[in-house]
Structure 1
Amino acid sequence: VRIPSRVDKPGSSPVKQFNQENLLPAPLVLPSIHELDLFRCFQPVLIHIQMLWELMLLGEPIVVMAPSPTVSSEMVLALTSCLAPLRYCCDYRPYFTIHDSEFKEYTTRTQAPPNIVVGVTNPFFIKTLQHWPHVLRVGELRMSGDLPKQVKVKKLAKLKTLDTKPGIYTSYKTFLHKDKTLIKRLLKGIQRKRPSEVQSALLRRHLLELTQSFIIPLEHYIASLMPLQRAITPWKNPPQIRPFRQEDFMKTLEHAGPQLTCVLKGDWLGLYRRFFKSPNFDGWYRQRHKEMTQKLEALHLEAICEANIVAWMKDKSEVEIVDLVLKLREKLVRARCQHLPVKEETLQRVGLYIETIIGSLPEDLQTVLHHH
């Protein structure tokens, strides 16, 4: 067993292996030790899976009221996992109690609830979290031979302190229409006594494809903001990534929108507009921007390696040459610290370049730079 490190990505295999492990297959990094039975978790809300997916995508505050910590935790984790491969960037508490330090913050009515999914079991929360916009009340999760009774969407005003029936208490109106074919397929699976893990796989694939249909246009657009490789020259700072303009992105949807990969109809534009205001968009954009910046850095290092450094140095002053040494050193450190996507060979060549440049300088400067 190998504990994953910070640089490992869920669902991927680590690149580096120890010598004694070379004969073994590369270990797979699991996002979680516990693989959720998604179908069992979502059984009572299958017909509302579209709504729940949208609420999670938009990072809406949700309370899950359950009869036990197990059900509460499983439902919260199922909800947070339904956006894969998009990372859920909001907070979530699978089991929240009145003793938690944020209790006051979450129950106060003087400010809007935070972007978080909270799982609770204490009936006391029905009253204290009544002001939250979305409350999912579920009963015990039981597997049966038939589709369990589906909870209804109800108005928040109907959330009573005592004897609150299972349901989704919200005034949220979905942007997209329900996918009736998914429900039919799952129903058929129940009738044919299909194993729960197969049903879960169907459900997971549906959610995955839905998320991908939503995210692919964003990925295409953000990729177009990357400067062209020919614009990257060795002796100038790499060009800037162009800013993400929401309206420009919206214009691309007519020809390259989710409709190309998803049959679901609805107000996709409205969904994107709401998504732009969510922490999930912010998290996705920051991550992509960071990756693109690192890619630019890597391409710049490669451009430096391919340049004729001796020719560049001919008409340069000592100040300019020393400045280049310091900048290249800084780039090397950054490349190693940030694990930039650069070949080790490239980094070694940059190191040799630095030595070559220092070697061309007067001895006193060489001494200073070697000790710097």
Structure 2
Amino acid sequence: MDPSDGFGSPRHEATADPAWASFCSWLECVCVVTFDLELGQAIELIYPQDVKLTEKEKTSICYLSFPDSYSGCLGDTKFTFRLRQSVGRRSSREDVYNRDAPVTLQKETAHFFGYVYFRQVKDVSVKRGYFQKSLVLVSKLPYTHLFHSLLQIIAPEYFEKLEPCLETVCNEIDQWPAPTPGQMLTLPVLGVILQVRIPSKTDKPAGSPVRQTLKESLVPAPMLLQTIHELDMFKCFQSVLFHLQMMWELMLLGEPLVVMAPSPTVCSETILALVSSISPLKFCCDFRPYFTIHDSEFREYTTRTQAPPNVVLGVTNPFFIKTFQNWPHVVRLGDIRMAGDLPKQVKVKKLSKLKTLDTKPGIYTSYKSFLHKDKIFVKRLLKGIQRKRPSEVQSAILRRHLLELTQSFIIPLERYMASLMPLQRSVTPWKTPPQIRPFNQDEFLSTLDHAGPQLTSLLRGDWMGLYRKFFRSPNFDGWYRQRHKEMTQKLESLHLEVICDADLLGWTKDKSEVEIVDLILKLKEKLIKAGQQQLQVKDGVLDKLNTFINSMISSLPQDQQALLNTP
């Protein structure tokens, strides 16, 4: 193979783009993890070959890519894991994708997702009697549905044809357009054309659309994915429907929670569904859709010398029942059992009953919900089961309900936050932009009587108590920081526009050289900041300020011009 275009080696196209630039906008790498009799789980292949993964990251990927031995997974198993990036990895600066994507779909800066397709089948030619291998897509993007759909296409082909097939796939992904919020993209792979739309933060939040059916034609029809990230939420929650309200509150408050399930598929999908239940609010705590005793954070998360951290874990090994006895909330799921034509609902039990390995399914917690259950809504879903309503329709109904619940909670916070923004008329060209007023919790709570969740939600209960506890959670801190950052950037943009509209040349007429240089330096700093933060300003503003700066510099003495024109 030509070394200038070797697989995994630098490959510069006519455009002089860095090698694998398009591939890297979707995936960090693709790994094949196999079972070695001497080494245990080991990475057999990794593409691109020069990807910068630390030994710790490689070890974590190895252990997380195989189901726990207790899971007994025969055949093909798909699941998702999430691992912490090694300290010292250079995080990418503010990029356009994260600026335009919804907060729940932004690229991870401190974690990787691993999307796994594991195959275990009997094979007499192997010493252990089984073929065991995982194909893993490692990415910073939380595109669960897209990447598992991609694995469904490429993994069976790979297990049959091995390395050449993977090389083809990676080269095809490297030809894909970059993930761009708000755009419908066409992504060809192994003769299949995937069509996806990347959500934008300007989209109106809504439940999942019901799947469309494409008309048959002689040309291979594109495979249209209705979502890139959403799961079958109804399937994930069908045994805990009576306790949806409580589960939503636990996620909203960022409470430490463990989900024990019979397989990595069930535990990872349940964790991802729980985390997404508070959308469009970003879940700002740590979460591990699949967690094992080999995880590098195992000791950190299971120490009994301090309170459990704000993390949601998905596990399959019964060993964890003993390990997590001091955790405040444990959900034990079994295989779905039916009571007549309805799924049997798990019960809430005392934590003290979580003792033995044969512990029955249940929610082990002493948590008391702040809000009352919405029994009418649960009955609607149960009636849907009896009427054999499709699961995707049930999921859309469920997602809409949780969205409306989260919005009822967040709208009063958004309204109060907007009141902290300085008036637009207070932004003047000759002064630093005014400060955003600090968030006062008591002042906010005093607004609830006339502008609280009761305006949009029929749910009754202690909303005030729920807000008080939310203020102590990482989710409030994350939401507040994000909103404060957006408002600060809005002020910066307004300030730039106001400066642009001012008579800057008139201002400089009676000013000294020192004052003019000072203004030039301040404006240059503002333009640099606008570029770094990807500030959204009116068309022509930045060009106009650049033109003004250049004309001001040219009016100064030669020595000053040379100094100011230095990058």
Q: How many corresponding residue pairs?
A: 365
Q: String of CA shifts for 1:136-173, please: whole Å, max 9, x gaps.
A: 00012478983211111111001022210111100000
1:327 offset after TM fit, Å?
A: 0.9
Partners of 2:346 and 2:338 in 1: CA distance: 15
Counterpart selection for 1:361 from 526, 547, 556: 556
- Distance in 1 (CA, whole Å) between partners of 2:279 and 2:345 is 24
In 1, Cα distance between the equivalents of 2:539 and 2:184?
A: 16
Matched, 1:9 2:75: no
1:78 to 273, 276, 293: 273
Shift of 1:315: 2.5
Q: Is the 8 A contact 2:184 2:197 kept in 1?
A: no
Question: 2:533 pairs with 314, 333, 338, which one?
Answer: 338
Cα distance in structure 1, aligned partners of 2:530 and 2:369:
44
Q: Tell me if structure 1 keeps the 8 A contact 2:275–2:283.
A: yes
- State the shift of 1:356 in Å: 2.2
Report what 2:353 is aligned to: 158
Taking the aligned partners of 1:15 and 1:201, their CA distance within structure 2 comes to 21
Q: How high is the TM-score relative to the length of structure 2?
A: 0.62
Q: 1:294 to 1:143 in 2, by over 3 A?
A: farther
Q: Which residue of 2 aligns with 1:251?
A: 446
RMSD of aligned alpha carbons: 2.2
| Rounded Cα–Cα distance in structure 2 between residues aligned with 1:33 and 1:127 | 37
Of structures 1 and 2, the one scoring higher in RCO (CA 8 A, sep 6+) is 1
Residue 56 (1) aligns with residue 251 (2): yes
Can you give the 5+ residue segments of structure 2 that lack an aligned partner in the other structure? 1-21, 27-96, 106-178, 186-194, 201-226
* Conservation of the 8 A alpha-carbon contact between 1:189 and 1:199: yes
Are the equivalent residues in 1 in contact too, given 2:257–2:331 (CA < 8 A)? yes
Q: Is 1:266 matched with 2:461?
A: yes
Compared CA separation, residues 42 and 362, structure 1 to 2 (3 A): same
Cα displacement (A) at 1:28: 2.1
Matched, 1:318 2:513: yes
Verify: 1:236 aligned to 2:417, yes or no.
Answer: no
Partner SS, residue 44 of structure 1? coil
Tell me the distance in 2 between the aligned counterparts of 1:15 and 1:131.
45
| Residue pair 1:64, 1:118 contacting (<8 A) in 2 also | yes
What residue in structure 2 maps to residue 287 of structure 1? 482
- The aligned amino acid for 2:198 is V
Residue 357 of structure 1: CA displacement? 1.8
Residues 71 and 141 in structure 1, CA contact (< 8 A), matched pair in contact too: no
Contact residue 45 and residue 151 of structure 1 kept, 8 A: yes
Distance in 2 (CA, whole Å) between partners of 1:213 and 1:306 is 39
Q: Is the 8 A contact 2:182 2:197 kept in 1?
A: no
Counterpart residue number, 2:387? 192
Contact 2:182 2:199 in 1 (8 A): no
Distance 1:310-1:177 versus aligned 2 partners, 3 A rule: same
Determine whether 1:28 maps to 2:197.
yes
Report the Cα distance in structure 1 between the residues aligned to 2:366 and 2:503, rounded to whole angstroms. 65
- Corresponding residue number in structure 2 for 1:328: 523
Partner of 2:421: 226
Shift of 1:365: 1.4
Pairwise CA distance, 1:177? 0.2
**2:245–2:371: 8 Å Cα contact kept in structure 1?**
yes
Could you tell me which residue of structure 1 aligns to residue 375 of structure 2? 180
- 1:304 is aligned to 2:471: no
Task: Mark the CA change 1:16 to 1:50 in structure 2 (over 3 Å): closer, same or farther.
Answer: closer
**Which amino acid in structure 2 is aligned with residue 46 of structure 1?**
L
Structure 2 residue 260 is matched with structure 1 residue 65? yes
Could you tell me how far 1:342 is from its partner in structure 2? 1.1
- Tell whether 2:207 aligns with 1:115: no
Cα 1:145–1:194 shift into 2, 3 Å: farther
Task: Check the 8 A contact 1:71/1:140 in 2, yes or no.
Answer: no
**Is this contact kept in 1: 2:182–2:198, CA < 8 A?**
no
Once residues 27 and 66 of structure 1 are traced to their aligned partners in structure 2, the CA distance between those partners, rounded to angstroms, is 31
State percent identity of aligned pairs: 70
Q: Does 1:99 align with 2:266?
A: no
- The whole-number CA distance in structure 1 between the counterparts of 2:342 and 2:497 is 58
CA contact (8 A) 1:40 1:142 kept: no
TM-score, with normalisation over the residues of structure 1? 0.93
Runs of 5+ in structure 1 lacking a partner?
19-25
Distance of 2:182 and 2:323 partners within structure 1: 49
Q: Contact (CA 8 Å) 1:85, 1:211: kept in 2 or not?
A: yes
Residue type at the aligned position of 1:253: L
Helix, strand or coil at the partner of 2:468:
helix
Q: Judge conservation of contact 1:40–1:143 (CA < 8 Å) in 2.
A: no
Residues in 1 aligned to 2:405 and 2:552: alpha-carbon distance in whole angstroms: 54
More strand by share: 2
